[in-house]
Structure 1
Amino acid sequence: MASRVAPAYSRAMETESQTFRDAAALLTGGESHRVWSLIVTIFGDLARRDGDRISGAALTRLVGLMGVKPEAMRVALFRLRKDGWIDSVREGRGSLHFLTPMGRRQSAEASPRIYEAERGFPDRWHLLVSGTGEQTGRGQLDSFLLTGEYLPVGSQVVIGQGPLPETLKGLLGVETGQVSVPDWLREQVCPPDLMAQYAALERDFTTLLSKLDRALPLATAEAAALRLLVVHSWRRLLFRHPDLPDCFFPSGWRGPDCRGLFRSLMGLLPAPDLVSLEAAL
């Protein structure tokens, strides 16, 4: 999809504060973000409750602060409506956009992983194993993997959290209270390129905290846009790997440190209520 957040800011951004421009460039510089994914972040962060609405005018201004052109936003909204994530209604000469029940449900499921100060995990694990050359079992493993809650350990084995599923349909199931994670699996969960991206995010979040500590307070619209860029930067890394305890990650993984910095940034950039945000935009 061609619609992406521009890594550089246009002349239209020259009316914004230097603090905002520097902070936004820090979080977007050198890489483009998919606009549809950014809009999912916006609604998941600011408007995930039933009844929450964002006007088309406000959304255009908000994504504009993040370097997104109106035509790119319209393409992304069309895709999200087609996929059943977002719906829209006319109001006067404009539109109101909101999450569908499916969009609210999936946003609610993702929120703890994004915003919790510390992740908690069950003390039980299970393995599911298919027979060699047994295609029905392999298909069953694939269906478990599609849920996003399982980690492939090999061509015939997946590992999941909690007790065994009630229905295995011919798969071998093994439940345990202890897992020893080898280095090769840690590197499979978080390969070197992802490790490097976490290290870079830690540096960016640290720099951003320092900038915000020294700067004058941002305007409401700028603070909201910057908050969303922070959430999106954090969210897009988190969902590149399964939700697993620290022992599944290589030594030196910066995930916990990034989470702490993210929480500090959320404290400096609290979510605005939609009425105030609409007025500011």
Structure 2
Amino acid sequence: MPIDDFDLAIAPLKDLGGQRVWSLMISLFGDLARQEGQIIGGPVLSAIMSAMDVRPEAARVALHRLRKDKWIASEKHGRISHHSLTPEGRAQSQAASGRIYATPDDLPEHWLMVVTDDAETGPLEKAGFTTLMPRLYVGDASLPVPKDAATLPGQAVPDWMKRQLEPASLAESYAQLSDALHHVARDLAGADTLTPLQIATLRCLIVHNWRRLALKHPALPRPLIRDDWAGLVAHQRVAALLAAYPRPDLPEIATA
């Protein structure tokens, strides 16, 4: 696809907020080089960053930060730098990948309600539950439940309850992401075949914008989600685009 047309097509994703360069790189490595032994060469990394309008100096600062934080390791072979996730960075990327790449069809179908005698929300939310009201939580029926908690099996869910479970602070951001993904899918629908570099760039922007919202709250079982909730619509569009543009092999990007 011509570069100018591609730039216009992905512009809605680039225009969304929260595009910190170091975070973009985490999304990029998590998508393209999450497995042990996978390496992104300096020229490939520079080309993808440039396609996302990241200045070379900003990319260098982000790499320095990620190396300092032990997310990324870099080695130089001749004049070419090779970058990869450290074992720690790889472990954290793998831990988040289940949530990031799960499709709406993968969402749990069975849920339960948990009642505790402790108003502290931290432990239950860390375990994957969502607070409905003080001391009352809902979540995947397969999640571990505290020994002293009471549980009730999930049944029919009223609309008011589904709305109450939606993260209100992310409502606008999910709506913006959903709209951006709609425009990207529409503009790419009639396009010529994308190059491996363009696909890598597109996937990074999709994964990054989805990751920075989805990881801010626990995943809800499907029966607890409204069909027209912007978060679910965004999830459906993320899954559709990632399926339509499969992850390219790193050698393909390097030789494109």
- Match of 1:232, SS? helix
Go from structure 1 to structure 2 and tell me whether the alpha carbon gap of 1:162 and 1:251 turns closer, same or farther (over 3 Å shift): closer
Residue of structure 2 equivalent to 1:142? 122
Q: Tell whether the 8 Å contact from 1:128 to 1:157 is kept in structure 2 after alignment.
A: yes
TM-score w.r.t. length of structure 1: 0.75
Deviation at 1:203, TM superposition (A): 2.6
**Tell me, what secondary structure is at the counterpart of 1:95?**
strand
1:93 aligns with 2:79: yes
Identity of aligned residues (%): 34
Structure 1 gaps, min length 5 = 1-15, 133-137
Partner SS, residue 149 of structure 2 = strand
Amino acid at match of 1:142: G
- Is residue 35 of structure 2 the alignment partner of residue 49 of structure 1? yes
Query: Which amino acid counterpart does residue 183 of structure 1 have in structure 2?
Result: W
Alpha carbons 1:181, 1:247 under 8 Å: kept: no
Between structure 1 and structure 2, the one with the greater Rg is: 1
Give the direction of change, closer, same or farther, for the CA distance of 1:82–1:20 in structure 2 (3 Å limit).
Answer: same
Contact 1:153–1:185 at 8 Å: present in 2 too? no
Going from structure 1 to structure 2, the CA distance change for 1:34 and 1:148 (only over 3 Å counts) comes to farther
**Shift of the alpha carbon at 1:87?**
2.1
Matched, 1:125 2:112: yes
1:189 aligned to 2:169? no
Pairwise CA RMSD: 3.0
**Equivalent residue, structure 2, for 1:6:** none
Give the structure 2 partner of residue 39 of structure 1: 25
1:33 match: secondary structure: coil
Amino acid at match of 2:167: C
1:254 to 211, 230, 234: 230
What letter corresponds to residue 130 of structure 2 in structure 1?
L
**Corresponding residue for residue 80 of structure 1:** 66
Query: Given residue 81 of structure 1, which amino acid in structure 2 is its aligned partner?
Result: R
Unaligned runs of 5+ in 2: none
TM-score by length of 2: 0.81
The question of whether the paired residues in 2 share the 8 Å contact of 1:189 and 1:242 is answered with no
Higher RCO (C-alpha 8 Å, min separation 6): 2
**2:6 is aligned with 1:20:** yes
Q: Does 1:67 align with 2:53?
A: yes
Residue of structure 2 equivalent to 1:238: 214
